Structure 1
Amino acid sequence: MSSAPFSRARLEELLKKRFFYAPAFSIYGGVAGLYDYGPPGCALQANMLALWRSHFVLEENMLELDTTILTPHDVLKASGHVDRFTDFMVNDSKTGDFYRADHILEDRLEKRLKEAPEAEKKEIERILSQLDDYKEVQLQALMERFQVRSDLGNELTPVIPFNLMFGASIGPKGQIRGYLRPETAQGQFTNFKRLLECNYERMPFASAQIGKSFRNEISPRAGLLRVREFTMAEIEHYVHPEKKNHPRFSEVAHLVLPFLPSSLQMEGISKTLEMTIGEAVEKKVVDNETLGYFLGRTAMYLWKIGVNGDRLRFRQHLPNEMSHYASDCWDAEIQSSYGWVECVGCADRSAYDLTMHTQWTKEKLVVRERLPEPKIMQVKRLEVSKKDIGMAYKKDAKAIVDMLERLTLCEAEDLMAKTDSEGNTAVSVDGIESLVKLTPAMAKIVESVETVHVNEYTPNVIEPSFGIGRIMYSLLEHVFWTREGDEQRCVLSLPAAIAPLKVLVAPLSNHDDFTPFCRELVTLFRKLDLNCQVDDSSATIGRRYARSDEVGVPFAVTVDFQTVKDRTVTLRERDSTAQVRLSLDDVATTIASIVRGEREWTNIVEKHGLFVQQALN
């Protein structure tokens, strides 16, 4: 590889020239945050997803499904997205331009850091390390303290929350309120009962889904890293809340990963801790085995597709940064020229989603396991008198009863504890302007002793969530380089398994004798699902090799006059430009064995020896 420093501009020029991806509708001026994938980008994404499906869905025997993108309002109200799925926004007070508050603050602080005195530098570094943890009031205070202005130097409006979901009207008159889904998870949770049946009522198990999600980003930037429409690959692994061990944990326990726990971040430390996954779980750095298992499997997948392990870390979410549903969450962050970027989130969502959907729909999303022996248990529950509520509140009674029945036992106990001197409880109910006064006759916590034959519980969920576009761009930075001595010759060292094209077929010239051999090679490659391309243009063979290197084609097969005589061809490897000579009949199976990971290029060189007579780069 070349010792030349990485150039983002050169990479972006290459990706544009070879149409990996480009701004959507550019002939109309385009829309920020929307991108189209061209042939190589489309093939690269498809291959990454095929390997993801093999690595996770097939390897773990997951239940894959494809749920709808349009999502009714109530589903996302129950999940918390309607109320909590927000970023913080500010506006230029004169032009009205939008900025994401933490992004513009981060940009200004990083610029200030370069010139700040030593004492202030430490304070700024501490703020930057905790920026994801700040909420509205804290961000506003920092904006004022550092006198943050817009790009034009104008004052900014106060920090406000902005919901990131795209609204949608469903039906000819828009009578059904909905959204484009912000994640693929909710469709999996609402199908939990069907999935459990598909798995013969056995626990634990996992579902998986690959599909589009949508987020109305305030200020899309950095190409594929922050967009409004993107592909996600998500897993929901359902476990017993008290049994979060994993039967295959030993397979990953020895892997050493770079961890950045929240405790270090709160101290302003960004240096990672290197430890095995087994040690991280044992010391409770990572909460449980199942979460640790998926951190390990995530790392293995990222290494497999070519992500540089030295530029990968696992960062734990800070307390305020943690999603409303998560009890623990780690991001697989990949370093690029844009800094450390979250590409995979691995969260323990506890029982939040299934519990909330149960409360909203009255459909129990639970697991029932018959006990070996009956148990006598003391059971608590909220007793609601529809009659008393109906007599007191008439037309508002249904809304009050629905609200009470959606409460968990913990929420009900907290609510009932807040009583006045007469034992009454005042609560607010959506759609009712004044507070509702509940008497003990209307709602109370009751206890009873019951003989239980079935253990009923709501599963917890461990969720690895992959942002495919972010991973793709970070990967492209990691595999991009230029030939030593010729920085115009760009190379993408994509692993053979995910390369958009596997083989270039290059006849030495456009001589008619070469045509039948090229056709035969294409047929052989297609039979083995090896995506290939014939380049019989008038360009020199070296130039054709260079063009294929730019889109990451790992192998090139050259047909020459020797091929006509004895049916042998040269096989060139992209990174080293080394070549071997072998039979045309064997070349397809040889390449296929490397793509499948059964052999490496060094094994091929050992078997056939280097061919140097016509070794053209």
Structure 2
Amino acid sequence: MASGMTTKDGKPFDRAALDYVLRRRLFYTPAFDIYGGVSGLYDYGPPGCALTNNIVDVWRKHFVLRENMQEVDCTMLTPYEVLKTSGHVDKFADWMCKDPKTGEIFRADHLVEEVLEARLKGDKEARGQKVEEKGEDPKKKKKKVKDIAVVKLDDALVTEYEETLAKIDNYSGDELGELMKKYNIRNPANGSELLPPVAFNLMFQTAIGPSSNLPGYLRPETAQGQFLNFAKLLDFNSQQMPFASASIGKSFRNEISPRSGLLRVREFLMAEIEHFVDPEGGKKHERFDEVKDVELELLNREVQLAGKTHVETTKIGKAVETGLVDNETLGYFLARIQLFLLKIGVDPKKIRFRQHMANEMAHYAADCWDAELLTSYGWIECVGCADRSAYDLSVHMKKTGAGLTVREARKEPLKIEEFQIDVDKKKFGPKFKKDAKPVEAALEALTQDLREKLSLDLEKDGKIVVDVPGVGDGKVEVPKELITIEKRTRIDHVREYTPNVIEPSFGIGRIFYALCEHSYWTREGDEARAVLSLPPTVAPTKVLLVPLSQHKDFKPFVRTLSDTLLDLGVSFRVDDSGASIGKRYSRNDELGTPFGITIDFQSVKDNTFTLRDRDSTKQVRASLDDICKAISNMVQDREKWADVAARLPAFEAQEAEAS
């Protein structure tokens, strides 16, 4: 069972039972299984592929098409220089600690979290309180905290533990090390003292080309390709701002200790949006009014820093108005993220948005909120929505000199007084020879304050000294006869600026797994009959065709129904096995198949068929055209089962649901 989680029908959630169904029905399976597997790597089977593709299809329609985004597909191999410039080489890391006796590696924040949670559990048991058990992840067996004593803790220590856990994402490596010392956190398996936490870069390193002289990485995100193509995308969009790009593809992170099944893996599918916006004007969004009344469950950073986790239900319009959410564009996407998650079937009572605290904020982010989904593993980040400011475009532009800016005509010309630098080209080149270009570039890069100061130095000393890295000792003297620095007025007809970026980033695998947990339940009175109540829009297979038997008279009807469903683009399976009707429906309920069509002897007589609803097991009977139209409408979310049941005749005959 799992930490207080219940299924949609109110029963205690059983993670092991769901995992058994998902693996047995080949939604996913450990990669390289016959070789013993590799932690954090999984393969998806036919229903898993179909569910993933359907989630992505809804995502593409909800965002890319609805928002008229520019979709790109960029390479997964990324040169070292790109990720060095973006900051990932230096900062994309988690904290790990090692057992010097066994060599076992732990992710520091996860270890602190596990041990403190286990101690709190022991305290509750000592106080006679009911404790819900968490389901066991097979890959965590070695590191599972075992045999924690049932000991009553001091009330103050309980509060301290709870506050520490509420802020667990906000601690630095040194702070995690201090927590481990303070609370005597050791290797749970053998009690060994662990080495202090050290940073571990999560990127997979590789070499590009046969000579291995071009170092690179497998990308940790899809974003950088979008930033590097910004100028081309802006041109493709006819230089119109704002606009958004989108990318769907694999990313890679070398997790320290993969755990929690599909929730923490080393290779995963991402869907990312980069919405480029003018930083002036408060980052307004022209369609914000459409979502301003959407209510979100918000957990802000102040509440977390106080050691609490309570959320506040807030309309996104109010959250932006009060400054809790920084701007309209960020708020617009938070609301649109929730609408997407609800559309694919996520439980509305198991969604919250948590604001990042200072220490956990990505190096590029100005503000960030995570859409977290409640699972048997706790609250899991499934979507991040960050205001990346102008960080990425600015650093790549500075490194390469590429024009990653927007130029637009001003409505009114602008008079600008500034210090301008002129160099005497005829004398400058002969004086500095091969260093002429870097020296001139250093002069052009000088700020207005420095230019003003150097103009005074030039007048006073007859020369200036500028910093030019890589030339001589890094200091270069420029005499008065080679340069002029004067304050002048110019008329600017064109405004040039670097856009800011709002980035919603979706972990498709995590959404996939959380959706399966939210959709799973068992039939009343028969715990062996599992059901995945996936919405028709994302269900791997939409329809099960069930001939009553293998009688030859049924075959033409199976073919006609198959052809009609194919023409409608509706996926289906045919089950004409010798199992009972109930058994055949039951094993497809596990696959999330929402509808079933039964072909019986009445079909042969009058060309009518029964249509079964997975969740209620209710049936209607109608003509082929009416049945297929109803299915098409429900798959495209134009109708619900209740609408169909209200307009088509109910079928009351016994279905033989029992196996």
Whether TM-score is above 0.5 comes out as yes
Matched ranges for 1:365-444 at <5 A? 365-379=404-418, 436=474
AA of the residue aligned to 1:238: F
1:161 maps to 2:199:
yes
Q: Determine the C-alpha separation between the residues in 2 that align with 1:411 and 1:226.
A: 49
AA of the residue aligned to 1:222: S
1:108 maps to 2:115:
yes
Q: Determine the C-alpha separation between the residues in 2 that align with 1:444 and 1:145.
A: 62
Aligned in 2, Cα 1:267/1:43: closer, same or farther, shift over 3 Å?
same
| Larger gyration radius, structure 1 or structure 2 | 2
CA contact (8 A) 2:252 2:268 kept: yes
Q: Determine the C-alpha separation between the residues in 1 that align with 2:446 and 2:530.
A: 59
Gaps of 5+ in 1: 417-421
Aligned to 2:602: 562
Aligned to 2:575: 535
Aligned to 1:300: 339
Counting aligned pairs with the same residue, the percent is 53
Q: Tell me the SS of whatever aligns to 1:94.
A: coil
Aligned to 1:451: 491
Aligned to 1:460: 500
CA contact (8 A) 1:3 1:484 kept: no
Aligned in 2, Cα 1:473/1:86: closer, same or farther, shift over 3 Å?
same
Matched ranges for 1:259-274 at <5 A? 259-274=298-313
Q: Tell me the SS of whatever aligns to 2:194.
A: coil
1:602 maps to 2:639:
no
Matched ranges for 1:53-72 at <5 A? 53-72=60-79
1:121 maps to 2:121:
no
Q: Determine the C-alpha separation between the residues in 2 that align with 1:392 and 1:155.
A: 63
Aligned to 2:22: 15
Q: Determine the C-alpha separation between the residues in 2 that align with 1:567 and 1:408.
A: 82
Aligned in 2, Cα 1:549/1:332: closer, same or farther, shift over 3 Å?
same
1:32 aligned residue (27, 39, 52):
39
Aligned in 2, Cα 1:54/1:408: closer, same or farther, shift over 3 Å?
farther
Q: Tell me the SS of whatever aligns to 2:501.
A: strand
Per-residue deviation at 1:451?
1.7
Q: Tell me the SS of whatever aligns to 2:566.
A: helix
Per-residue deviation at 1:158?
1.5
Q: Determine the C-alpha separation between the residues in 2 that align with 1:558 and 1:495.
A: 21
1:131 aligned residue (168, 177, 180):
168
Q: Deviations over 1:145-174 (max 9, x none)?
A: 112111322221111111111111011111
Per-residue deviation at 1:424?
10
Q: Determine the C-alpha separation between the residues in 2 that align with 1:121 and 1:445.
A: 66
Matched ranges for 1:133-532 at <5 A? 133-152=170-189, 153-243=191-281, 244-379=283-418, 436=474, 449-532=489-572
Q: Determine the C-alpha separation between the residues in 2 that align with 1:566 and 1:412.
A: 90
AA of the residue aligned to 1:79: S
Per-residue deviation at 1:98?
1.3
CA contact (8 A) 1:360 1:406 kept: no
1:581 maps to 2:581:
no
RMSD: 3.1
Aligned in 2, Cα 1:407/1:558: closer, same or farther, shift over 3 Å?
farther
Q: Determine the C-alpha separation between the residues in 1 that align with 2:446 and 2:60.
A: 36
Q: Determine the C-alpha separation between the residues in 2 that align with 1:386 and 1:150.
A: 68
- How many residues align structurally? 609
Q: Which is worse superposed, 594-603 or 562-571? A: 594-603
Q: Determine the C-alpha separation between the residues in 1 that align with 2:120 and 2:465.
A: 52
Q: Determine the C-alpha separation between the residues in 1 that align with 2:170 and 2:432.
A: 42
AA of the residue aligned to 1:286: V
Aligned in 2, Cα 1:574/1:91: closer, same or farther, shift over 3 Å?
same
CA contact (8 A) 2:419 2:448 kept: no
Q: Determine the C-alpha separation between the residues in 1 that align with 2:582 and 2:279.
A: 60
1:79 aligned residue (86, 89, 92):
86
AA of the residue aligned to 1:136: G
Gaps of 5+ in 2: 1-7, 124-152, 455-460
AA of the residue aligned to 1:458: T
Q: Tell me the SS of whatever aligns to 2:358.
A: coil
Per-residue deviation at 1:440?
8.6
Q: Tell me the SS of whatever aligns to 2:603.
A: helix
Q: Deviations over 1:423-469 (max 9, x none)?
A: 9999896x99x984577989999865432110000000000000000
TM-score by length of 2: 0.87
Aligned to 1:99: 106
Q: Determine the C-alpha separation between the residues in 2 that align with 1:104 and 1:342.
A: 18
CA contact (8 A) 1:545 1:556 kept: yes
Aligned in 2, Cα 1:201/1:2: closer, same or farther, shift over 3 Å?
closer
Q: Determine the C-alpha separation between the residues in 2 that align with 1:576 and 1:548.
A: 14
AA of the residue aligned to 2:271: A
Q: Tell me the SS of whatever aligns to 2:176.
A: helix
Per-residue deviation at 1:411?
12
AA of the residue aligned to 1:112: R
Aligned in 2, Cα 1:12/1:398: closer, same or farther, shift over 3 Å?
farther
TM-score by length of 1: 0.92
